[in-house]
Amino acid sequence: MSKNYYDENYQEYFKNTIDADMSEMIEKFLSYLKLGARILDAGCGVGRDTKVFLQKGYEVEAFDSSVQMVRLSSEYTGQMTRFLRFEDMDYVDEFDGIWACASLLHVSRKDLPDVFRRLERALEKGGVLYASFKFGSDYSENGRDFTCFDEGEMIDFLESFNALSIIEIIVTKDVRDENSKVYWTNIFLQKN
């Protein structure tokens, strides 16, 4: 199970991800929101992006399903991070934006439609959802399961979500030098 990996390897994960430069995707995401908008950092990990949003003047709620990530994120951001699984989200029309950076990829393909419906419900009308998945085929590694998509698979997957329109899908290289052979499928969606 993926969350056990993060509870056991939290220090290494913090060290490997805290300085990852997500500014390109963050700026694109924020360009769709008003300053001070309410953002949900869904599966926030160590709180790296939550902290950026807070520093830029946004109202942020963050959650993660790993006890250690919740602790690290709360310490790093100075704000309480909620312990929550995607499958248990129950927000309704609460957020202008949802940021799910490299987090939904640990939701099984079987559970992903329900989780996307929960994310859709959590957004206000006109709200924007950002999500990123590794590009390629599903796989397991070091006790973690990865659900992966290319652009075509993502478009097919999203067809059943009538309330979400694709703004754009961008494939990018991993921002960390040691992962330069890894590519990501980044999606920006808007709730109709």
Q: Please name each of the domains of the chain with its CATH number.
A: 2-191 (3.40.50.150)
In this predicted structure, the answer to whether residue 10 has a pLDDT above a threshold of 70 is no
pLDDT tens digits along 87-122: 999 999 999 999 999 999 999 999 999 999 999 999
Q: Edge-to-edge, what's the strand order for the sheet holding 123-134?
A: 82-83, 59-64, 38-42, 95-100, 123-134, 183-191, 164-173
Instruction: State residue 143's pLDDT score.
Output: 81
pLDDT tens digits along 127-164: 999 999 999 999 888 888 899 999 999 999 999 999 99
Where would I find the H helices in the chain?
A: 2-8, 10-17, 23-30, 48-55, 67-77, 112-122, 151-158
pLDDT over 70 for what percent of the chain? 90
Instruction: State residue 1's pLDDT score.
Output: 46
Average pLDDT over residues 77-82: 97
In this predicted structure, the answer to whether residue 177 has a pLDDT above a threshold of 70 is no
- Alpha-carbon gap, residue 42 to 102, rounded angstroms: 10
DSSP one-letter code for 33: S
pLDDT tens digits along 16-36: 766 777 889 999 999 999 999
DSSP string covering 43-82 = T-TTSHHHHHHHHTT-EEEEEES-HHHHHHHHHHHSSPPE
